[in-house]
Amino acid sequence: MDRFYPPVVSVGRETLIQAEGKFPKWPVKFVCDRVDVEIAAADESGKLKVTLPASSAPGVTWVRCYDEASASNLIPLLIEPIPAASEVEPNNKIADATSLESTSVIYGRLEKNGDVDTYRMSVKQGDTLVISVIANRYLRSPMDMVLQLVDARGNVLAQVDDVRGIDPQLVYQVDDDVELFGRMFAFPETPNSTISYAGASSFVYGLRVTNGPFVDHALPLVAAPNEQFETSPVGWNLPPKIDAVTQPSTTMTPALFYLKDALGWHHQVAGPENSIGIVERNDTTVLQADSVPFVFSGHISELGETDRVRFQCSKATKYRASVHSQTLGFLLDSVLAITSLSDSKEVARNDDRERNVADAAIEFTASEDGVYELSISDLVDGYSPRHAYSVVIEKSEPKIELLAANDHFSVKAGESLDIPVSIQRKYGFDQKLRVLVENLPHGVKAEEVMSEPKGDSSKSVTLKLTAEKGSTFSGNIRIVAQPLDPDDKADGSTVTAVHRIDSLIETPDLWLTVVETP
């Protein structure tokens, strides 16, 4: 299964969609990460019915199809609160533009080189028009889309591209009662020698257009797991009374924030346990954190702005501060600095966590008991409502991450399968690890392996699964690591391996198919 088309379904209705790919046998079965989403195979091969109750939250769900012999990748499916309509081809030219209601959700595809999609919108003086695209982010369409707003004569009034990651989003203040046109085209996500507009069957998108309420995001971007936090929505045309809803996290997606009767939604990333949240109120006050860990959130919303927060540190204790902005699809090119208030000396500064990661991060050891100040700004003096951030400040303790190369695996009965697992040891983690597979079915075995603190096994290990003849299985397994003490005894903690789809989406549930052999 390569993708769904349409890539969007709506709450409170049944939608018939096409699963694009190859299906040697039909029907197949489906699993997804949201319990409110009902998916069933239709009679025609590749067709499926998706049913959502009216109480469902918008957002995204991840779907896998499988049969007794194979399984697909996890494929995203967008969920919107209003019915979604299709683009109408041809719509390359203004004269052929697809007409939209004042609030619309549209899906489409730039299916061939040179393709341009154009939409017609009637707006009134004083409207704040929001046009937001989901394509590369979440749908993983391999394109870098450009969005233009033009008048009836083709004059470009505004143009955007990389606003939500590399997806475009445009906000425009309307000066007159007029017809405007949204025009979209794309280039490949990975640049090549082609200079014309690109297109392909994989260039699918969801488009949200409104002059009504639209939720762009909410602060904090990062919050303590399962915390009932106070949330500050950010967007356009928002009502004075906010009727906010939080959807709990799934095994794949973080908690979701949205407003009733509004387009747009926001994933709230889980931060450290027991952290407190502080939202910068965009004034001259330097805020104070009562304890560590904490999450400091805000916007760089004015030219040259620097936001600050102070917190108490203990002598000889190592701390870590890390920014979450560009990795979550926001615009801040962050600069972090830590200053000791006892002598006004800067003790640490950073503007890139690592190569190709623009979110800053700092580790520092407090030289004395006292108050330290964290400051955050934009490297190139950028500012906007989308220069949003959360900074996580915590004690720097050793940790590990385990990453699986894929989200599904297959082995024939009577044969073996190697599953490589990479291990990222961070902040001085130097314990031996016991790595093993959980939830294996009857007839499938996997010997545990050791990851030593140094050497090749410290960075990666390979688990070997062996399936007995006659065994069959389709379902989830998990790979976990148990840190060991110097006596090779488990210390009681475990770390679960995940397959990471992007900076927001990862799954600990790895699908295993054991295929019966003749």
Residue type at 435? V
For residue 409, list its beta bridge partners. 512
Distance CA 332, CA 327 (A): 10
Residue type at 354? E
Best CA proximity match to 55, nearest among 213, 270, 269, 258: 258
Those residues with Cβ within 8 angstroms of residue 166's Cβ, 6 or more apart along the chain or in another chain:
136, 137, 144, 145, 189
Element (H, E) at 85: strand 84-86
Those residues with Cβ within 8 angstroms of residue 185's Cβ, 6 or more apart along the chain or in another chain:
110, 115, 116, 117, 145, 146, 197
Q: Would you state the structure tokens that stand for residue 511, as one six-digit string?
A: 């699908």
Residues in the chain: 518
**Half-sphere exposure for 444 (CA within 13 Å, toward CB):** 28
Best CA proximity match to 209, nearest among 288, 127, 272, 143: 127
Residue type at 433? L
Residue type at 37? V
For residue 145, list its beta bridge partners. 186
Phi-psi category of 221—alpha, beta or left, where left has phi over 0 and alpha has psi -120 to 50?
A: alpha
Residue 246, Cα to own-chain centre: how many angstroms?
A: 16
Q: Is the peptide bond before 486 cis (omega within 30 degrees of 0)?
A: no
pLDDT at position 228 is 56
Distance CA 186, CA 113 (A): 9
How far is residue 174 from each of residues 121, 123, 211, 235, 386, measured CA to CA in Å?
A: 12, 7, 10, 17, 20
Note down pLDDT in tens along the chain; length 518 residues: 999 999 999 999 999 999 999 999 999 999 999 999 999 999 999 999 999 999 999 999 999 999 999 999 999 999 999 999 999 999 999 999 999 999 999 999 999 999 999 999 999 999 999 999 999 999 999 999 999 999 999 999 999 999 999 999 999 999 999 999 999 999 999 988 878 899 999 999 999 999 999 999 999 999 877 655 567 899 999 998 888 888 889 999 999 999 998 999 999 999 998 888 888 876 667 899 989 999 999 999 999 999 999 999 999 999 999 999 999 999 999 999 999 999 999 999 999 988 888 999 999 999 999 999 999 999 999 999 999 999 999 999 999 999 999 999 999 999 999 999 999 999 999 999 999 999 999 999 999 999 999 999 999 999 999 999 999 999 999 999 999 999 999 988 999 999 999 888 999 999 999 998 77
pLDDT at position 193 is 81
pLDDT at position 226 is 60
Cβ pair 106, 98 in contact under 8 A: yes
